[in-house]
Structure formats: C-alpha cells, structure tokens
C-alpha cells in the first residue's frame, strides 16, 4: 500500500487508540498533551516514511515512536512526570518506570474508560458526539464538520469548550463502579444511538462518511458488549438494532446517493450476515429482566428484515410500537405505530387513530393521512399530501410526496 493511503488509514485506526491510552495515563487535565504527542507521531511518520519508505510494521513503529515521544516529554517536563508517577500507582523510581502499555487489553480498557468520560451529561449531547468522533473514532475536525453539515470553526470551538468543561468538572477517566454502571451506561447508549442515527439518517450526500459514522457507533457498542461489566441487555439490544438497520445500508441508498424507500428496496442487497448478527444480539439482549426502548426498536427492526407483508409481521410491529410508546413517546414512533395499525387492523381504524394525533406541524403526519385516505377518499388524500408538500423541507422528502400525488392522479385517469 502506498504511504499516501496508509497514513490516513492508520490515523483512523491507531490515533484514537494511542490517544486513549495516553489520556487514561495522564488524566483529563492533560488531554491536549496526549493529542499533541500522537499528532506529532503521525507527523514524524509522514516525514520519515516518504523519505525512507514504509517500515515493516507500521503500527508497531507508531507505538514505539509515541512511547519515545512520551518519555522525551517526561524528561523535558520532569515536574509533570513526577506528579504523574505519584498519581498513578507506578513505583516512582523515575520517568523510565512509567509504563506506556499499548497492548490490546490496555487499549480496550482505556477506550472504555474514555467512552464514559466523553459521554458525560455535564456536556451537551452534540458535544458528546463531536468529542466521541474526535477522541474515540479518530475523526479529523473537517470530517466532523462534514458530518454535522457545519464548518471547521464551529466544530473546533465545540470540541474545545467540551474539553474545558470536562477539565473544570474534573471528570475522571475511568470506568464507572458496578453500582453506577446502569445510569452511566444509559447516557453512553443515548450518545452511541445518536452517533449511529447521525450516519444512518444524515442528509449528507457523502455515503462513505455516513457508513463510517455507523461503523464507528457499532464498534464502540461492540466494545461495551465484549466487556463483562458493561455487557448489559440494553447494550446488546442497541447493537442488535444497529445490525438490523445497517443490514439495509446498501439497499436504501442508490448510486446517486438518494434514499430508496423500504417498499422499493432490492432485498438481495440486504446483508444477511448483519441480519444474523442482529438476531444473535437480540437473543443476548433477552437475558435479563428489564426491557429498554432499544429492545422494542430492535424487535421492530427485526420484523422489518421480513419483506413479506404478513398480518403476523404487522401485528408484532404494532404491539412493539404500543410498548415502545409507553416507555418513551416520540412523534415519529406515534406515526409509525399508526402505519402499523393500518397494516394490522385496516385503514378504517387507523384513520380514526391518525385523526387523534394532531401532529399538525409535521409533514410526515400529513403524508401518513394522505397514505391512509388513498383509495378510501382520494380527494382528502390529495389535500393531505399537498399540505405535506408545503411543510416538507428537503428535496428527498418532497420527491416522495410528489410521487404519491402523481400516483393518485394516475389512478384517477384509469377509472
């Protein structure tokens, strides 16, 4: 592999690992030192590899250089090293004793601790995601800006404010105690869920970036599932949900980067391996006595891996939505529940329920009403679709609504 391709790839996979280990070692107050050392390591790689060629073991080379740079930093900043060796329980016989452990286990432990640090409620959900992308996923500031459809300055400020806040609050980089784990894990899962959704539902046309966001959210969730203290039912349920959703990634976006509706998807593009993994983690998730919203969402996503429209499928989806809404209301879940009701109990009953929702600022609400009235009362259907069109913002949403309106006109002609 060319060094031009290799370095960005290593940056994505190794930057976050070394940063995590160093942050874990240094503590939150010295987070920039850790970042500087690792950035400097990659800078050396760029300079030296282009002159002398790529070393035999590039990852090992990065680790060794990062370790040496850390030790040099300690030598130049003896006070810092002294303070550190007193804090961390290593025998303080000198700087050389401070062990920079870049083993797989140490990397995983450091990353797990960092997940809990980054997903701290003292900073906003948006900042948690940005910080997670930066420190846990090795995303550069430009990539984060692209993901959020914003500019570098905004991301840069957001990251710095978040880091400052973590320092002021003296958030420790550690995994929570068993007693706290459920509460803390809740917040982590919300962030990972948002990170995944950012990739899955993003309006960004950059398909590769969107896939990366989903993959990173899955990797971090997987890390939690593989770690005994955090291997909780809700973690497995979230991972299952992510597997089911991403199994349709190839099918739901066409070559032009446009969204393909579920009903129009080519099922041969669904990823069978991911569906199987989803089922596996859903089974793992059932080994507990508490059901989280992720359990219900994973259940719904499971039934969507069956393309056939059966009463059994829609009845199951309806009941899962009934339960999900009792745990956590959201307009989108209410709308989807009503769609499932139409499929399971018929359009007549669903129209009565849909009229009760009154989500009058939501274009999906009018699209749902339009769908329900189609072939029942096409005049009403048209009226609702036209309201939906006036409320929709994105071109993709408008295109779908226009298609529905044309569909009604076409059936009108054929009669």
Residues that bind other proteins (CB under 8 A): 315, 318-319, 321-323, 325-326, 329, 333-334, 337-338, 341, 345, 353, 356-357
| C-beta closer to other proteins: residue 234 or 334 | 334
- Bridge partner list, 253: 259
Residue with tokens 């009701």: 341
Report in angstroms how near the CB of residue 160 gets to other proteins at its nearest.
38
| C-beta closer to other proteins: residue 206 or 353 | 353
Torsion angles phi and psi, residue 259, rounded to 5: -75, 135
| C-beta closer to other proteins: residue 281 or 339 | 339
Looking at 96-232, list the stretches that DSSP marks H as alpha helix, in order from N- to C-terminal side. 104-118, 125-131, 141-148, 152-168, 181-201, 207-226
Classify residue 285 by burial, with Cβ atoms within 10 Å: 0-12, 13-18, 19+. Answer: buried
| C-beta closer to other proteins: residue 52 or 356 | 356
- Bridge partner list, 259: 253
Report in angstroms how near the CB of residue 141 gets to other proteins at its nearest.
39
The answer to whether 148 and 194 are in contact (CB under 8 A) is no
Report in angstroms how near the CB of residue 332 gets to other proteins at its nearest.
11
| C-beta closer to other proteins: residue 110 or 338 | 338
Cα gap 156→142, rounded to integer Å: 9
Report in angstroms how near the CB of residue 292 gets to other proteins at its nearest.
16
Q: Name the strand (E) or helix (H) holding 203.
A: none
Report in angstroms how near the CB of residue 9 gets to other proteins at its nearest.
46
Report in angstroms how near the CB of residue 208 gets to other proteins at its nearest.
37
Cα gap 200→223, rounded to integer Å: 20
Q: How far apart are the first and last CA of the chain?
A: 63
| C-beta closer to other proteins: residue 16 or 337 | 337
Q: What is the DSSP letter of 29?
A: G
Report in angstroms how near the CB of residue 331 gets to other proteins at its nearest.
8
Say how many C-beta atoms besides its own lie within 10 A of residue 145's C-beta.
19
| C-beta closer to other proteins: residue 37 or 318 | 318
Report in angstroms how near the CB of residue 354 gets to other proteins at its nearest.
9
Say how many C-beta atoms besides its own lie within 10 A of residue 8's C-beta.
11
Q: Name the strand (E) or helix (H) holding 247.
A: none
| C-beta closer to other proteins: residue 166 or 335 | 335
Q: Which of 85, 311, 132 is nearest to 303 (CA)?
A: 311
Cα gap 196→210, rounded to integer Å: 9
| C-beta closer to other proteins: residue 17 or 295 | 295
The answer to whether 71 and 96 are in contact (CB under 8 A) is yes
Report in angstroms how near the CB of residue 356 gets to other proteins at its nearest.
5
Q: In sequence order, which residues have a C-beta less than 8 Å from that of residue 75 and are 6 or more positions away?
A: 81, 95
Report in angstroms how near the CB of residue 319 gets to other proteins at its nearest.
6
| C-beta closer to other proteins: residue 108 or 345 | 345
Cα gap 378→391, rounded to integer Å: 20
Cα gap 136→141, rounded to integer Å: 13
Report in angstroms how near the CB of residue 350 gets to other proteins at its nearest.
10
Cα gap 4→303, rounded to integer Å: 44
What's the token pair of residue 150? Answer: 């914003």
What's the token pair of residue 195? Answer: 């990170």
| C-beta closer to other proteins: residue 286 or 319 | 319
The answer to whether 84 and 25 are in contact (CB under 8 A) is yes
């Amino acid at each position: 592999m060319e060094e031009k391709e290799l370095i960005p790839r290593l940056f994505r996979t190794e930057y976050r690992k070394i940063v995590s280990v160093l942050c874990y070692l240094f503590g939150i107050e010295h987070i920039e030192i850790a970042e500087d050392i690792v950035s400097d390591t990659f800078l050396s790689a760029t300079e030296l590899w282009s002159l002398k060629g790529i070393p035999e073991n590039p990852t090992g080379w990065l680790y060794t250089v990062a370790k040496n740079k850390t030790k040099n930093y300690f030598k130049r900043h003896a006070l810092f090293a002294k303070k550190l060796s007193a804090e961390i329980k290593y025998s303080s016989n000198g700087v050389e004793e401070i062990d920079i452990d870049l083993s797989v286990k140490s990397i995983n432990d450091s990353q797990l601790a960092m997940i809990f640090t980054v997903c701290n409620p003292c900073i906003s959900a948006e900042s948690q995601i940005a910080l997670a992308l930066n420190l846990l996923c090795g995303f550069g500031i430009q990539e984060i800006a692209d993901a959020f459809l914003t500019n570098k300055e905004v991301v840069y400020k957001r990251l710095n404010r978040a880091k400052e806040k973590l320092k002021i609050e003296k958030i420790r980089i550690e995994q929570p105690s068993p007693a706290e784990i459920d509460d803390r894990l809740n917040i982590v899962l919300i962030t990972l869920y948002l990170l995944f959704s950012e990739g899955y539902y993003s309006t960004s046309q950059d398909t590769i970036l969107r896939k990366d966001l989903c993959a990173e959210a899955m990797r971090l969730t997987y890390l939690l599932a593989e770690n005994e203290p955090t291997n909780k039912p809700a973690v497995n349920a979230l991972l299952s949900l992510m597997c089911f959703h991403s199994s349709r990634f190839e099918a739901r976006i066409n070559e032009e980067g446009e969204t393909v509706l579920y009903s129009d998807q080519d099922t041969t593009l669904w990823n069978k391996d991911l569906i199987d993994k989803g089922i596996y983690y859903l089974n793992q998730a059932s080994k507990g006595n508490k059901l989280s919203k992720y359990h219900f969402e994973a259940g719904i996503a499971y039934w969507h891996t069956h393309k056939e429209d059966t009463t059994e499928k829609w009845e199951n989806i309806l009941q899962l939505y009934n339960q999900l809404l009792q745990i956590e209301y959201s307009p989108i879940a209410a709308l989807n529940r009503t769609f499932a009701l139409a499929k399971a109990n018929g359009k007549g009953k669903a129209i009565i329920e849909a009229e009760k929702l009154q989500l009058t600022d939501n274009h999906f609400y009018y699209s749902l009403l339009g769908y329900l009235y189609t072939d029942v009362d096409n005049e009403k259907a048209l009226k609702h679709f036209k309201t939906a069109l006036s409320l929709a913002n994105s071109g993709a949403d408008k295109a779908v609504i226009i298609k529905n309106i044309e569909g009604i006109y076409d059936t009108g002609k054929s009669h």
